Structure 1
Amino acid sequence: MRVFVTGASGFVGSAVVRELLDAGHDVLGLARSDASAAAVSAAGADVHRGSLEDPDGLRAAAATVDGVVHTAFHHDFTDFPNAASLDLRAIEAMGEALTGTGKPFVMSSGTGLLTPGRVGTEDDALDPAAPTGARNPSEGAALALADHGVRPAAVRLPPTVHGEGDHGFVPALIAVARERGVSAYVGEGANRWAAVHRRDAARLYRLALESAPAGARLHAVGEQEVRTREIAEAIGRALGLPVTSIAAGEAFGHFGMSGAYFAADHPASSAKTRALLSWHPLEPGLIADLDEGHYFTESHRPAVGL
Protein backbone atom coordinates (compact mmCIF):
# COMPACT_ATOMS: atom_id res chain seq x y z
CA MET A 1 0.00 0.00 0.00
CA ARG A 2 1.25 3.50 -0.81
CA VAL A 3 0.42 5.80 2.10
CA PHE A 4 0.43 9.59 2.41
CA VAL A 5 1.55 10.56 5.94
CA THR A 6 1.17 14.11 7.20
CA GLY A 7 3.47 15.15 10.03
CA ALA A 8 5.94 12.61 8.64
CA SER A 9 8.97 14.18 10.35
CA GLY A 10 7.21 14.78 13.69
CA PHE A 11 7.52 12.82 16.92
CA VAL A 12 4.54 10.55 16.26
CA GLY A 13 4.54 10.80 12.48
CA SER A 14 8.15 9.72 12.09
CA ALA A 15 7.42 6.61 14.17
CA VAL A 16 4.41 5.90 11.94
CA VAL A 17 6.60 6.24 8.83
CA ARG A 18 9.12 3.78 10.27
CA GLU A 19 6.36 1.33 11.21
CA LEU A 20 4.77 1.49 7.76
CA LEU A 21 8.07 1.06 5.92
CA ASP A 22 9.09 -1.87 8.11
CA ALA A 23 5.74 -3.51 7.33
CA GLY A 24 6.38 -3.27 3.60
CA HIS A 25 4.32 -0.22 2.72
CA ASP A 26 5.53 2.70 0.58
CA VAL A 27 5.27 6.14 2.16
CA LEU A 28 4.80 9.63 0.76
CA GLY A 29 5.58 12.02 3.61
CA LEU A 30 4.45 15.63 3.92
CA ALA A 31 7.32 18.06 4.61
CA ARG A 32 7.04 21.82 4.95
CA SER A 33 10.77 22.64 5.31
CA ASP A 34 14.10 21.55 3.91
CA ALA A 35 14.99 19.97 7.28
CA SER A 36 11.73 18.02 7.37
CA ALA A 37 12.17 16.90 3.77
CA ALA A 38 15.68 15.66 4.54
CA ALA A 39 14.43 13.70 7.56
CA VAL A 40 11.60 12.10 5.59
CA SER A 41 13.93 11.17 2.75
CA ALA A 42 16.55 9.77 5.14
CA ALA A 43 13.89 7.51 6.65
CA GLY A 44 13.33 5.97 3.22
CA ALA A 45 10.08 7.71 2.26
CA ASP A 46 9.23 9.89 -0.72
CA VAL A 47 8.67 13.59 -0.03
CA HIS A 48 5.66 15.78 -0.79
CA ARG A 49 6.52 19.43 -0.11
CA GLY A 50 3.60 21.31 1.40
CA SER A 51 1.79 22.16 4.62
CA LEU A 52 -1.59 22.17 6.33
CA GLU A 53 -2.03 25.69 4.99
CA ASP A 54 -2.20 24.26 1.45
CA PRO A 55 -5.42 22.19 1.20
CA ASP A 56 -5.13 21.95 -2.58
CA GLY A 57 -1.71 20.35 -2.26
CA LEU A 58 -2.98 17.95 0.39
CA ARG A 59 -5.91 17.00 -1.83
CA ALA A 60 -3.60 16.37 -4.77
CA ALA A 61 -1.25 14.18 -2.71
CA ALA A 62 -4.12 12.16 -1.23
CA ALA A 63 -5.45 11.47 -4.72
CA THR A 64 -2.24 9.63 -5.66
CA VAL A 65 -2.11 7.08 -2.81
CA ASP A 66 -3.91 4.04 -1.42
CA GLY A 67 -4.51 5.51 2.01
CA VAL A 68 -3.79 8.48 4.30
CA VAL A 69 -2.50 8.75 7.87
CA HIS A 70 -2.94 12.26 9.26
CA THR A 71 -0.68 13.01 12.24
CA ALA A 72 0.17 16.66 11.55
CA PHE A 73 -1.18 19.44 13.75
CA HIS A 74 -0.09 23.05 14.08
CA HIS A 75 0.66 23.22 17.81
CA ASP A 76 0.16 26.95 18.26
CA PHE A 77 -1.58 27.25 21.61
CA THR A 78 -1.56 31.05 21.36
CA ASP A 79 -4.17 30.72 18.58
CA PHE A 80 -5.65 27.29 19.07
CA PRO A 81 -8.94 27.97 17.23
CA ASN A 82 -6.97 28.77 14.07
CA ALA A 83 -4.85 25.62 14.48
CA ALA A 84 -8.04 23.57 14.85
CA SER A 85 -9.53 25.24 11.78
CA LEU A 86 -6.43 24.38 9.72
CA ASP A 87 -6.75 20.76 10.84
CA LEU A 88 -10.41 20.59 9.86
CA ARG A 89 -9.79 22.09 6.41
CA ALA A 90 -6.92 19.64 5.82
CA ILE A 91 -9.16 16.69 6.71
CA GLU A 92 -11.91 17.94 4.44
CA ALA A 93 -9.50 18.37 1.54
CA MET A 94 -7.92 14.94 1.85
CA GLY A 95 -11.33 13.38 2.43
CA GLU A 96 -12.59 14.85 -0.83
CA ALA A 97 -9.75 13.14 -2.70
CA LEU A 98 -10.68 9.77 -1.17
CA THR A 99 -14.45 10.05 -1.62
CA GLY A 100 -15.97 6.98 -3.23
CA THR A 101 -12.71 4.99 -3.28
CA GLY A 102 -13.15 2.84 -0.16
CA LYS A 103 -9.59 3.78 0.82
CA PRO A 104 -8.55 4.22 4.48
CA PHE A 105 -8.14 7.58 6.16
CA VAL A 106 -6.66 7.48 9.68
CA MET A 107 -6.66 10.74 11.63
CA SER A 108 -5.39 11.84 15.03
CA SER A 109 -7.65 12.85 17.89
CA GLY A 110 -7.17 12.77 21.66
CA THR A 111 -8.49 11.16 24.84
CA GLY A 112 -7.90 14.53 26.50
CA LEU A 113 -10.94 15.75 24.56
CA LEU A 114 -13.19 13.40 26.54
CA THR A 115 -15.08 14.33 29.69
CA PRO A 116 -12.59 14.31 32.60
CA GLY A 117 -13.04 12.58 35.93
CA ARG A 118 -13.93 9.12 34.64
CA VAL A 119 -12.32 6.44 32.49
CA GLY A 120 -12.98 7.38 28.86
CA THR A 121 -13.83 4.65 26.37
CA GLU A 122 -14.00 4.36 22.60
CA ASP A 123 -17.80 4.70 22.80
CA ASP A 124 -17.60 8.15 24.37
CA ALA A 125 -18.26 11.24 22.30
CA LEU A 126 -15.86 14.16 22.61
CA ASP A 127 -16.65 16.75 25.26
CA PRO A 128 -17.59 20.14 23.75
CA ALA A 129 -16.52 21.77 27.03
CA ALA A 130 -12.96 20.44 26.81
CA PRO A 131 -10.33 23.23 26.98
CA THR A 132 -9.11 22.24 23.51
CA GLY A 133 -12.61 21.40 22.26
CA ALA A 134 -12.09 23.57 19.18
CA ARG A 135 -10.41 20.48 17.75
CA ASN A 136 -13.50 18.28 18.20
CA PRO A 137 -15.04 18.91 14.74
CA SER A 138 -12.01 17.29 13.09
CA GLU A 139 -12.88 13.85 14.46
CA GLY A 140 -16.51 14.23 13.46
CA ALA A 141 -15.63 15.34 9.94
CA ALA A 142 -13.21 12.46 9.46
CA LEU A 143 -15.59 9.76 10.70
CA ALA A 144 -18.42 11.21 8.60
CA LEU A 145 -16.39 10.23 5.53
CA ALA A 146 -17.73 6.71 6.10
CA ASP A 147 -20.95 7.97 4.50
CA HIS A 148 -19.01 9.02 1.40
CA GLY A 149 -17.22 5.84 0.42
CA VAL A 150 -14.13 6.22 2.61
CA ARG A 151 -12.89 3.92 5.42
CA PRO A 152 -12.04 6.42 8.17
CA ALA A 153 -10.75 5.77 11.68
CA ALA A 154 -9.85 8.14 14.52
CA VAL A 155 -6.83 7.31 16.68
CA ARG A 156 -7.24 9.09 20.00
CA LEU A 157 -3.84 9.76 21.54
CA PRO A 158 -3.55 10.18 25.33
CA PRO A 159 -2.21 13.34 27.00
CA THR A 160 1.27 11.82 27.08
CA VAL A 161 2.85 10.10 24.09
CA HIS A 162 6.31 9.34 25.37
CA GLY A 163 9.63 8.01 24.16
CA GLU A 164 13.07 9.15 23.08
CA GLY A 165 12.86 12.38 21.10
CA ASP A 166 9.75 13.67 22.92
CA HIS A 167 9.66 17.47 22.98
CA GLY A 168 6.14 17.83 24.33
CA PHE A 169 4.42 17.97 27.66
CA VAL A 170 6.68 15.83 29.86
CA PRO A 171 9.88 17.66 28.80
CA ALA A 172 8.07 20.91 29.54
CA LEU A 173 7.28 19.67 33.06
CA ILE A 174 10.95 18.79 33.45
CA ALA A 175 11.92 22.30 32.32
CA VAL A 176 9.59 23.85 34.90
CA ALA A 177 11.07 21.63 37.64
CA ARG A 178 14.59 22.71 36.69
CA GLU A 179 13.57 26.37 36.66
CA ARG A 180 11.65 26.24 39.94
CA GLY A 181 14.01 23.92 41.78
CA VAL A 182 11.14 21.66 42.76
CA SER A 183 9.10 18.96 41.03
CA ALA A 184 5.47 19.73 41.75
CA TYR A 185 2.07 18.15 41.37
CA VAL A 186 -1.34 19.66 42.03
CA GLY A 187 -3.27 18.86 45.20
CA GLU A 188 -2.82 15.22 46.16
CA GLY A 189 -1.51 14.34 42.71
CA ALA A 190 -4.20 11.66 42.49
CA ASN A 191 -5.49 12.80 39.12
CA ARG A 192 -4.74 10.33 36.34
CA TRP A 193 -3.29 10.55 32.87
CA ALA A 194 -3.46 7.91 30.19
CA ALA A 195 -0.15 7.34 28.38
CA VAL A 196 1.39 5.45 25.45
CA HIS A 197 4.85 4.90 24.01
CA ARG A 198 5.26 6.39 20.53
CA ARG A 199 6.21 3.03 18.97
CA ASP A 200 3.08 1.39 20.36
CA ALA A 201 1.01 4.27 19.02
CA ALA A 202 2.66 3.93 15.60
CA ARG A 203 1.74 0.26 15.47
CA LEU A 204 -1.91 1.13 16.15
CA TYR A 205 -1.93 3.64 13.29
CA ARG A 206 -0.68 0.88 10.97
CA LEU A 207 -3.27 -1.60 12.15
CA ALA A 208 -5.99 1.01 11.74
CA LEU A 209 -4.84 1.72 8.20
CA GLU A 210 -4.75 -1.94 7.29
CA SER A 211 -7.91 -3.26 8.90
CA ALA A 212 -9.98 -0.91 11.09
CA PRO A 213 -13.67 -0.84 10.13
CA ALA A 214 -15.13 2.38 8.77
CA GLY A 215 -15.95 4.84 11.53
CA ALA A 216 -13.79 3.20 14.20
CA ARG A 217 -12.79 5.24 17.22
CA LEU A 218 -9.56 3.79 18.60
CA HIS A 219 -7.70 4.52 21.82
CA ALA A 220 -3.91 4.45 21.63
CA VAL A 221 -3.69 3.93 25.38
CA GLY A 222 -0.88 1.80 26.73
CA GLU A 223 -1.52 2.75 30.36
CA GLN A 224 -5.02 3.59 31.50
CA GLU A 225 -3.99 5.77 34.41
CA VAL A 226 -0.69 7.18 35.66
CA ARG A 227 -1.00 9.42 38.72
CA THR A 228 0.50 12.86 38.21
CA ARG A 229 2.23 12.53 41.57
CA GLU A 230 4.11 9.53 40.13
CA ILE A 231 5.22 11.69 37.20
CA ALA A 232 6.42 14.44 39.53
CA GLU A 233 8.23 11.89 41.70
CA ALA A 234 10.03 10.39 38.70
CA ILE A 235 11.13 13.86 37.61
CA GLY A 236 12.29 14.78 41.10
CA ARG A 237 14.14 11.48 41.41
CA ALA A 238 16.04 12.04 38.17
CA LEU A 239 16.89 15.68 38.88
CA GLY A 240 17.61 15.27 42.59
CA LEU A 241 14.90 17.81 43.43
CA PRO A 242 12.32 17.87 46.21
CA VAL A 243 8.80 16.81 45.25
CA THR A 244 5.94 18.87 46.59
CA SER A 245 2.25 19.59 46.25
CA ILE A 246 0.90 22.95 45.18
CA ALA A 247 -2.67 24.16 45.53
CA ALA A 248 -4.93 24.13 42.50
CA GLY A 249 -5.08 27.93 42.63
CA GLU A 250 -1.31 28.07 42.21
CA ALA A 251 -1.15 25.74 39.20
CA PHE A 252 -1.23 28.49 36.57
CA GLY A 253 1.44 30.51 38.30
CA HIS A 254 3.69 27.50 38.65
CA PHE A 255 3.17 25.63 35.37
CA GLY A 256 1.87 28.37 33.07
CA MET A 257 -1.14 28.17 30.81
CA SER A 258 -1.34 24.36 30.97
CA GLY A 259 -1.39 24.20 34.75
CA ALA A 260 -5.11 23.43 34.81
CA TYR A 261 -4.58 20.65 32.28
CA PHE A 262 -1.90 19.04 34.41
CA ALA A 263 -4.39 19.09 37.28
CA ALA A 264 -7.14 17.45 35.21
CA ASP A 265 -8.16 13.80 35.56
CA HIS A 266 -7.90 12.07 32.15
CA PRO A 267 -7.81 8.28 32.46
CA ALA A 268 -8.83 6.27 29.40
CA SER A 269 -9.31 2.63 28.46
CA SER A 270 -8.21 0.88 25.26
CA ALA A 271 -9.94 -2.44 25.96
CA LYS A 272 -12.17 -2.27 22.89
CA THR A 273 -9.30 -1.19 20.63
CA ARG A 274 -7.15 -4.11 21.80
CA ALA A 275 -9.96 -6.59 21.17
CA LEU A 276 -10.85 -5.14 17.77
CA LEU A 277 -7.35 -5.00 16.25
CA SER A 278 -5.35 -7.37 18.50
CA TRP A 279 -3.19 -4.41 19.48
CA HIS A 280 -1.07 -5.03 22.56
CA PRO A 281 1.38 -2.36 23.81
CA LEU A 282 4.90 -3.76 24.13
CA GLU A 283 7.07 -0.77 25.05
CA PRO A 284 8.01 0.62 28.50
CA GLY A 285 5.41 2.59 30.44
CA LEU A 286 5.78 6.29 31.16
CA ILE A 287 7.47 6.02 34.57
CA ALA A 288 9.83 3.29 33.35
CA ASP A 289 10.65 5.49 30.35
CA LEU A 290 11.42 8.44 32.62
CA ASP A 291 13.62 6.22 34.80
CA GLU A 292 15.74 5.27 31.77
CA GLY A 293 17.22 8.78 31.90
CA HIS A 294 17.02 9.93 28.28
CA TYR A 295 14.37 12.54 29.15
CA PHE A 296 16.95 14.44 31.17
CA THR A 297 19.53 15.00 28.44
CA GLU A 298 19.98 18.23 26.51
CA SER A 299 18.26 16.74 23.46
CA HIS A 300 14.96 16.56 25.34
CA ARG A 301 14.37 20.27 25.75
CA PRO A 302 10.71 21.07 24.98
CA ALA A 303 9.66 22.63 21.69
CA VAL A 304 6.97 24.63 23.49
CA GLY A 305 6.59 25.60 27.12
CA LEU A 306 3.63 25.15 29.40
Structure 2
Amino acid sequence: MNVLVIGATGFIGAVVAAALAGAGHDVSALRHSGGRATEYRPVPGDLTDPVSLTRAAAGFDRVVHAGPPLGADLDLAGVDALLASGSPLVYTTGAAVLGGGSHDEDSEPDPHPVVAWRAEVERRVRAAGGRVVRPGMLYGEGGGSVPALLAAKAAERGTGVYIGEPGVRWPVVHVADLAALYVAVVEHAEPGTVWHGMSETVRLDELARVLGGGTAAPWPLEEATAELGPIAGLYTLDQDISSDKTRRLLDWTPKHTSILAHLSAEPPSPAR
Protein backbone atom coordinates (compact mmCIF):
# COMPACT_ATOMS: atom_id res chain seq x y z
CA MET A 1 0.00 0.00 0.00
CA ASN A 2 0.90 3.65 -0.41
CA VAL A 3 1.22 4.89 3.19
CA LEU A 4 1.85 8.38 4.58
CA VAL A 5 3.48 8.41 8.02
CA ILE A 6 3.05 11.49 10.19
CA GLY A 7 5.83 11.73 12.78
CA ALA A 8 8.36 9.67 10.82
CA THR A 9 11.29 11.35 12.60
CA GLY A 10 9.84 10.69 16.07
CA PHE A 11 10.38 7.76 18.43
CA ILE A 12 7.25 5.84 17.38
CA GLY A 13 6.97 7.06 13.81
CA ALA A 14 10.54 6.26 12.79
CA VAL A 15 10.22 2.63 13.86
CA VAL A 16 6.71 2.34 12.37
CA ALA A 17 7.85 3.77 9.02
CA ALA A 18 10.76 1.34 8.88
CA ALA A 19 8.49 -1.59 9.73
CA LEU A 20 5.99 -0.62 7.04
CA ALA A 21 8.76 -0.25 4.45
CA GLY A 22 10.20 -3.58 5.55
CA ALA A 23 6.79 -5.18 4.98
CA GLY A 24 6.86 -3.97 1.38
CA HIS A 25 4.73 -0.84 1.59
CA ASP A 26 5.55 2.41 -0.23
CA VAL A 27 6.17 4.86 2.63
CA SER A 28 6.06 8.66 2.43
CA ALA A 29 6.71 11.03 5.33
CA LEU A 30 5.00 14.29 6.25
CA ARG A 31 7.65 17.01 6.41
CA HIS A 32 7.17 20.60 7.50
CA SER A 33 9.32 23.45 6.26
CA GLY A 34 12.76 23.05 7.81
CA GLY A 35 11.92 19.59 9.14
CA ARG A 36 14.47 16.82 9.35
CA ALA A 37 14.81 14.74 6.19
CA THR A 38 14.15 10.99 6.12
CA GLU A 39 14.82 8.25 3.59
CA TYR A 40 11.16 8.39 2.56
CA ARG A 41 9.50 10.59 -0.04
CA PRO A 42 8.70 13.91 1.68
CA VAL A 43 5.16 15.26 1.56
CA PRO A 44 4.76 18.94 2.54
CA GLY A 45 2.50 19.53 5.53
CA ASP A 46 2.50 20.79 9.09
CA LEU A 47 0.54 19.60 12.14
CA THR A 48 0.30 23.21 13.29
CA ASP A 49 -1.38 24.12 9.98
CA PRO A 50 -4.43 21.84 9.71
CA VAL A 51 -5.39 23.18 6.26
CA SER A 52 -2.14 21.74 4.88
CA LEU A 53 -3.00 18.25 6.14
CA THR A 54 -5.98 17.64 3.86
CA ARG A 55 -3.86 18.22 0.78
CA ALA A 56 -0.94 16.22 2.19
CA ALA A 57 -3.03 13.15 3.05
CA ALA A 58 -5.06 12.95 -0.15
CA GLY A 59 -4.62 9.89 -2.34
CA PHE A 60 -2.97 7.53 0.14
CA ASP A 61 -4.17 3.99 0.88
CA ARG A 62 -3.47 4.64 4.56
CA VAL A 63 -2.36 7.62 6.66
CA VAL A 64 -0.64 6.69 9.93
CA HIS A 65 -0.61 9.49 12.51
CA ALA A 66 2.21 8.79 14.96
CA GLY A 67 3.03 12.43 15.64
CA PRO A 68 3.04 14.14 19.05
CA PRO A 69 -0.12 15.46 20.70
CA LEU A 70 -0.36 19.25 20.36
CA GLY A 71 -3.40 20.01 22.51
CA ALA A 72 -7.16 20.00 22.03
CA ASP A 73 -7.56 22.69 19.39
CA LEU A 74 -4.80 21.59 17.03
CA ASP A 75 -5.41 17.87 17.47
CA LEU A 76 -9.15 18.15 16.79
CA ALA A 77 -8.65 20.47 13.83
CA GLY A 78 -5.90 18.24 12.53
CA VAL A 79 -7.92 15.04 12.68
CA ASP A 80 -10.82 16.72 10.91
CA ALA A 81 -8.45 17.89 8.17
CA LEU A 82 -6.93 14.43 7.74
CA LEU A 83 -10.36 12.79 7.58
CA ALA A 84 -11.47 15.36 5.00
CA SER A 85 -8.78 14.00 2.65
CA GLY A 86 -10.76 10.78 2.25
CA SER A 87 -7.73 8.61 2.97
CA PRO A 88 -8.22 5.90 5.66
CA LEU A 89 -6.61 7.08 8.90
CA VAL A 90 -4.74 5.12 11.58
CA TYR A 91 -4.52 7.39 14.62
CA THR A 92 -2.41 7.06 17.78
CA THR A 93 -3.88 7.96 21.17
CA GLY A 94 -2.76 6.14 24.33
CA ALA A 95 -3.73 4.20 27.42
CA ALA A 96 -4.50 7.35 29.42
CA VAL A 97 -7.65 7.91 27.34
CA LEU A 98 -9.23 5.00 29.24
CA GLY A 99 -8.72 6.31 32.76
CA GLY A 100 -7.93 4.15 35.77
CA GLY A 101 -9.01 0.57 36.38
CA SER A 102 -9.33 -2.53 34.23
CA HIS A 103 -10.15 -2.09 30.55
CA ASP A 104 -10.10 -3.80 27.17
CA GLU A 105 -10.57 -2.76 23.55
CA ASP A 106 -14.35 -2.45 24.01
CA SER A 107 -14.12 -0.12 27.02
CA GLU A 108 -15.48 3.38 26.59
CA PRO A 109 -12.94 6.19 27.05
CA ASP A 110 -12.86 7.91 30.43
CA PRO A 111 -9.74 10.01 29.95
CA HIS A 112 -7.50 11.58 32.52
CA PRO A 113 -8.09 15.38 32.41
CA VAL A 114 -4.59 15.94 30.96
CA VAL A 115 -5.69 14.17 27.75
CA ALA A 116 -9.44 14.77 27.93
CA TRP A 117 -9.86 15.78 24.27
CA ARG A 118 -8.45 12.50 22.99
CA ALA A 119 -11.77 10.75 23.60
CA GLU A 120 -13.39 13.06 21.05
CA VAL A 121 -10.48 12.49 18.65
CA GLU A 122 -11.09 8.75 18.87
CA ARG A 123 -14.83 9.20 18.31
CA ARG A 124 -14.28 11.25 15.16
CA VAL A 125 -11.71 8.83 13.75
CA ARG A 126 -13.90 5.79 14.31
CA ALA A 127 -17.06 7.48 13.03
CA ALA A 128 -15.24 8.21 9.76
CA GLY A 129 -14.07 4.60 9.40
CA GLY A 130 -10.56 5.11 10.73
CA ARG A 131 -8.59 2.91 13.08
CA VAL A 132 -7.31 3.85 16.57
CA VAL A 133 -4.17 2.46 18.22
CA ARG A 134 -3.71 2.88 21.97
CA PRO A 135 -0.10 2.15 22.98
CA GLY A 136 1.07 1.57 26.52
CA MET A 137 4.19 3.18 27.97
CA LEU A 138 6.96 2.87 25.41
CA TYR A 139 10.50 1.61 25.85
CA GLY A 140 13.31 0.13 23.76
CA GLU A 141 15.56 1.19 20.88
CA GLY A 142 17.29 3.66 23.18
CA GLY A 143 14.11 5.71 23.72
CA GLY A 144 11.07 6.04 25.93
CA SER A 145 10.41 9.31 27.71
CA VAL A 146 9.08 7.84 30.98
CA PRO A 147 11.98 5.43 31.64
CA ALA A 148 14.41 8.20 30.69
CA LEU A 149 12.76 10.67 33.08
CA LEU A 150 12.75 8.18 35.95
CA ALA A 151 16.37 7.26 35.19
CA ALA A 152 17.31 10.94 35.41
CA LYS A 153 15.56 11.33 38.76
CA ALA A 154 17.26 8.17 40.05
CA ALA A 155 20.65 9.57 39.02
CA GLU A 156 19.83 12.89 40.68
CA ARG A 157 18.57 11.45 43.98
CA GLY A 158 20.65 8.31 44.28
CA THR A 159 17.54 6.12 44.42
CA GLY A 160 14.68 5.22 42.14
CA VAL A 161 11.56 7.38 42.43
CA TYR A 162 7.87 6.87 41.71
CA ILE A 163 5.06 9.39 42.01
CA GLY A 164 2.23 8.87 44.48
CA GLU A 165 1.44 5.57 46.17
CA PRO A 166 3.28 2.27 45.63
CA GLY A 167 1.55 -0.37 43.53
CA VAL A 168 0.39 1.84 40.64
CA ARG A 169 0.35 -0.26 37.45
CA TRP A 170 0.87 0.80 33.85
CA PRO A 171 0.61 -1.09 30.55
CA VAL A 172 3.88 -1.07 28.61
CA VAL A 173 5.15 -2.04 25.15
CA HIS A 174 8.48 -2.24 23.36
CA VAL A 175 8.50 0.12 20.37
CA ALA A 176 9.48 -2.68 17.95
CA ASP A 177 6.46 -4.73 19.02
CA LEU A 178 4.28 -1.65 18.65
CA ALA A 179 5.58 -1.11 15.12
CA ALA A 180 4.62 -4.69 14.24
CA LEU A 181 1.11 -3.91 15.49
CA TYR A 182 0.85 -0.89 13.20
CA VAL A 183 1.76 -3.06 10.23
CA ALA A 184 -1.01 -5.49 11.20
CA VAL A 185 -3.52 -2.65 11.64
CA VAL A 186 -2.60 -1.11 8.27
CA GLU A 187 -2.92 -4.45 6.52
CA HIS A 188 -5.82 -6.18 8.28
CA ALA A 189 -7.86 -3.98 10.66
CA GLU A 190 -11.48 -3.29 9.83
CA PRO A 191 -12.75 0.32 9.67
CA GLY A 192 -13.93 1.93 12.89
CA THR A 193 -11.92 -0.30 15.22
CA VAL A 194 -9.67 0.18 18.28
CA TRP A 195 -6.49 -1.77 18.97
CA HIS A 196 -4.35 -2.05 22.09
CA GLY A 197 -0.56 -2.03 22.00
CA MET A 198 0.26 -3.39 25.45
CA SER A 199 2.55 -6.36 26.02
CA GLU A 200 2.45 -6.49 29.83
CA THR A 201 1.54 -4.56 32.97
CA VAL A 202 4.25 -3.26 35.30
CA ARG A 203 4.27 -1.60 38.71
CA LEU A 204 5.91 1.80 38.52
CA ASP A 205 7.55 1.39 41.92
CA GLU A 206 9.18 -1.84 40.71
CA LEU A 207 10.36 -0.07 37.56
CA ALA A 208 11.77 2.73 39.74
CA ARG A 209 13.55 0.17 41.89
CA VAL A 210 15.31 -1.34 38.86
CA LEU A 211 16.35 2.12 37.64
CA GLY A 212 17.53 2.98 41.15
CA GLY A 213 19.82 -0.01 41.45
CA GLY A 214 17.58 -1.84 43.90
CA THR A 215 16.07 1.00 45.92
CA ALA A 216 13.12 3.34 45.37
CA ALA A 217 11.32 6.10 47.25
CA PRO A 218 8.08 8.02 46.66
CA TRP A 219 8.18 11.39 44.93
CA PRO A 220 5.26 13.36 46.43
CA LEU A 221 2.71 14.36 43.81
CA GLU A 222 2.87 18.01 44.85
CA GLU A 223 6.64 18.13 44.29
CA ALA A 224 6.39 16.25 41.01
CA THR A 225 3.62 18.55 39.76
CA ALA A 226 5.72 21.61 40.57
CA GLU A 227 8.47 20.23 38.33
CA LEU A 228 6.53 18.39 35.61
CA GLY A 229 3.22 20.23 35.54
CA PRO A 230 -0.21 18.55 35.39
CA ILE A 231 1.19 15.56 33.52
CA ALA A 232 2.54 14.33 36.86
CA GLY A 233 -1.00 13.23 37.67
CA LEU A 234 -0.77 10.56 34.97
CA TYR A 235 1.84 8.76 37.06
CA THR A 236 -0.79 8.08 39.75
CA LEU A 237 -3.24 6.50 37.28
CA ASP A 238 -3.49 2.78 38.08
CA GLN A 239 -4.35 0.77 34.96
CA ASP A 240 -4.64 -2.89 34.06
CA ILE A 241 -5.43 -2.95 30.32
CA SER A 242 -5.97 -6.03 28.19
CA SER A 243 -4.78 -6.48 24.61
CA ASP A 244 -6.29 -9.96 24.27
CA LYS A 245 -8.67 -8.99 21.47
CA THR A 246 -5.87 -7.32 19.52
CA ARG A 247 -3.60 -10.34 19.90
CA ARG A 248 -6.33 -12.73 18.83
CA LEU A 249 -7.82 -10.88 15.87
CA LEU A 250 -4.58 -9.47 14.43
CA ASP A 251 -2.32 -12.36 15.43
CA TRP A 252 -0.12 -9.90 17.30
CA THR A 253 2.49 -11.59 19.51
CA PRO A 254 4.92 -9.23 21.26
CA LYS A 255 8.47 -10.54 21.45
CA HIS A 256 9.55 -8.30 24.34
CA THR A 257 7.64 -9.26 27.47
CA SER A 258 9.68 -7.92 30.40
CA ILE A 259 10.53 -4.25 30.66
CA LEU A 260 12.22 -4.89 34.02
CA ALA A 261 14.62 -7.39 32.47
CA HIS A 262 15.23 -5.04 29.55
CA LEU A 263 16.02 -2.06 31.78
CA SER A 264 18.27 -4.21 33.99
CA ALA A 265 20.29 -5.16 30.91
CA GLU A 266 20.08 -1.82 29.07
CA PRO A 267 19.40 1.12 31.39
CA PRO A 268 18.10 4.17 29.50
CA SER A 269 20.20 7.30 29.20
CA PRO A 270 18.82 9.83 31.71
CA ALA A 271 16.71 12.52 30.06
CA ARG A 272 18.21 15.99 30.11
State the TM-score, normalized to the length of structure 1. Answer: 0.82
Give the drift of 1:51.
1.3
Given the alignment of the two structures, is residue 125 of structure 1 paired with residue 108 of structure 2, yes or no? Answer: yes
Output the CA distance in 1 between the equivalents of 2:210 and 2:227. Answer: 18
Given the alignment of the two structures, is residue 226 of structure 1 paired with residue 202 of structure 2, yes or no? Answer: yes
Give the letter for the 1:90 counterpart: G
Q: Quick check: 2:31–2:42 contact (8 Å CA) kept in 1?
A: yes
Given the alignment of the two structures, is residue 135 of structure 1 paired with residue 118 of structure 2, yes or no? Answer: yes
Q: Which residue in the other structure is 1:7 paired with?
A: 7
Structure 1: gaps of 5 or more residues = 76-82, 147-151
Q: Residues 283 and 33 from structure 1, CA distance in 2 versus in 1: closer, same or farther, beyond 3 angstroms?
A: farther
1:81-127 deviation per Cα after TM superposition (whole angstroms, max 9, x unaligned): xx2321221111111111xxxx53210111111130x2211111111
Output the CA distance in 2 between the equivalents of 1:169 and 1:107. Answer: 21
Q: Residues 254 and 177 from structure 1, CA distance in 2 versus in 1: closer, same or farther, beyond 3 angstroms?
A: farther
Q: Quick check: 1:197–1:285 contact (8 Å CA) kept in 2?
A: no
Matches within 5 A, 1:234-253: 234-237=210-213, 242-246=215-219, 251-252=224-225
Given the alignment of the two structures, is residue 259 of structure 1 paired with residue 232 of structure 2, yes or no? Answer: yes
Output the CA distance in 2 between the equivalents of 1:185 and 1:285. Answer: 19
Given the alignment of the two structures, is residue 156 of structure 1 paired with residue 134 of structure 2, yes or no? Answer: yes
Matches within 5 A, 1:1-306: 1-32=1-32, 34=34, 36-37=36-37, 40-41=38-39, 45-74=40-69, 83-98=71-86, 104-116=88-100, 118-128=101-111, 130-146=113-129, 152-158=130-136, 160-186=137-163, 189-223=166-200, 225-237=201-213, 242-246=215-219, 251-252=224-225, 257-296=230-269, 301=271
Output the CA distance in 2 between the equivalents of 1:256 and 1:182. Answer: 22
Task: Please list every run of at least 4 consecutive aligned residues from structure 1 whose deviation after the TM superposition is greater than 6 angstroms.
Answer: none
Q: Residues 113 and 182 from structure 1, CA distance in 2 versus in 1: closer, same or farther, beyond 3 angstroms?
A: same
1:15-59 deviation per Cα after TM superposition (whole angstroms, max 9, x unaligned): 11000000000111012354522xx22xxx111232112223211
Give the drift of 1:246.
4.7
Q: Quick check: 2:159–2:212 contact (8 Å CA) kept in 1?
A: yes
Count of aligned pairs between the two proteins: 272
Structure 2: gaps of 5 or more residues = none
CA RMSD in angstroms comes to 2.2
State the TM-score, normalized to the length of structure 2. Answer: 0.91
Q: Quick check: 1:11–1:165 contact (8 Å CA) kept in 2?
A: no
| Worse overlay, 136-145 or 257-266 | 257-266
Q: Report the secondary structure of 2:141's partner residue.
A: coil
Q: Which residue in the other structure is 1:78 paired with?
A: none
Give the letter for the 2:52 counterpart: G
Output the CA distance in 2 between the equivalents of 1:259 and 1:67. Answer: 34
